[in-house]
Amino acid sequence: MAPRGEVDQRIADATLELLRTRGPRGVTVEAVTARSGIAKTTIYRRYTDRRDMLSAALERLAPTEPPGADVAPRERLRWVIAHAVEAVDAGIGFGGFAALLTDEDAEFTEVFRRILAGQRAALEQVIEDSWAGVDAEALIDALVGAYTAERARTGSVADGWEERLFALFWPVVSSV
C-alpha cells in the first residue's frame, strides 16, 4: 500500500491534469480514479465530493516564496512575470481558465477565485514593496492578459515571451 502522502499526490496530480485538459466538468471521482489508479473508495474516504477534491488539489498551487529583499529590482520583475501566470500555466491550465472565464462550473469558479486571490495578494505585495507607485493589480492583469493573448494568437507561448514582457515593462516600473 502506498503511503498516504503519495496517494494524496497522485489524486491531486490526476485532478489537476484532468482540469487542465478537460476543464472542471471533466474532473469526476470516476475520471480521477481512472487517471490515478487510486480506488474510488479511497478517494471518498479522503474527500466528501468532487468540490472537496478540486479544492484540495487547487490548494496545492500555493505561490512560491517571494524573492528576498536582497534581490535586484530587475530580477524581482522577472520573478513577478514568471509567477503571474503560474496559476494558469502550472495550475488550472487553459481548460480550467476557459471554464473560469465562462463560469461554466460555478463551484469551480468559486473555489479557484478564492485560491487565486491569495496568490495575487502575494504577487501584489512583491510589486508594492518593489515599486511603490506601480498599480500592482493592473500590472498583474496586463501580464496575465498578454500571456492569454499570446496563447490565443499562436496556440502556444513562444520562447522568449517572458523576456519580451520584461523589456516592455522594465522601463515603466523602473521609472516610478
Is the pLDDT at 176 greater than 90, yes or no?
Answer: no
Question: Is 143 in contact with 84 (CB distance < 8 Å)?
Answer: yes
Per-residue pLDDT at 115: 77
Radius of gyration of the chain (CA): 18
With 0-12 / 13-18 / 19 or more C-beta atoms within 10 angstroms meaning exposed / middle / buried, residue 44 is middle
pLDDT, position 43: 95
Predicted pLDDT of residue 63: 65
CA dihedral 135, 140, 83, 162 (to 10 degrees): -100
Alpha-carbon span 27 to 62, nearest angstrom: 20
Q: Considering the entire predicted model, what is its pTM?
A: 0.78
pLDDT grade for 113, boundaries at 50, 70 and 90: confident
CA atoms within 13 A on the CB side of 100: 18
Domain ranges, ordered by start, for the chain: 4-59, 73-174
Does CATH place domain 4-59 in 1.10.10.60? yes
Give yes or no for a contact between 66 and 130, defined as CB atoms under 8 angstroms apart: no
Percent residues over pLDDT 70 in the chain: 98
CA distance 142 to 12: 30
pLDDT score recorded for residue 23: 83
Least trusted range by pLDDT, from 59-63, 67-71, 75-79: 59-63
- pLDDT for residue 1: 57
Distance from C-alpha of 68 to C-alpha of 127, rounded to nearest angstrom: 13
Greater confidence, 144 or 62? 144
pLDDT tens per residue across span 92-112: 777 778 888 888 888 778 877
Please give the mean pLDDT across all residues of the chain: 88
The percent helix, strand, coil of the chain (3-state, each to 5) is 75, 0, 25
- What is the spatial distance between Cα 64 and Cα 45, in angstroms, rounded to a whole number? 30
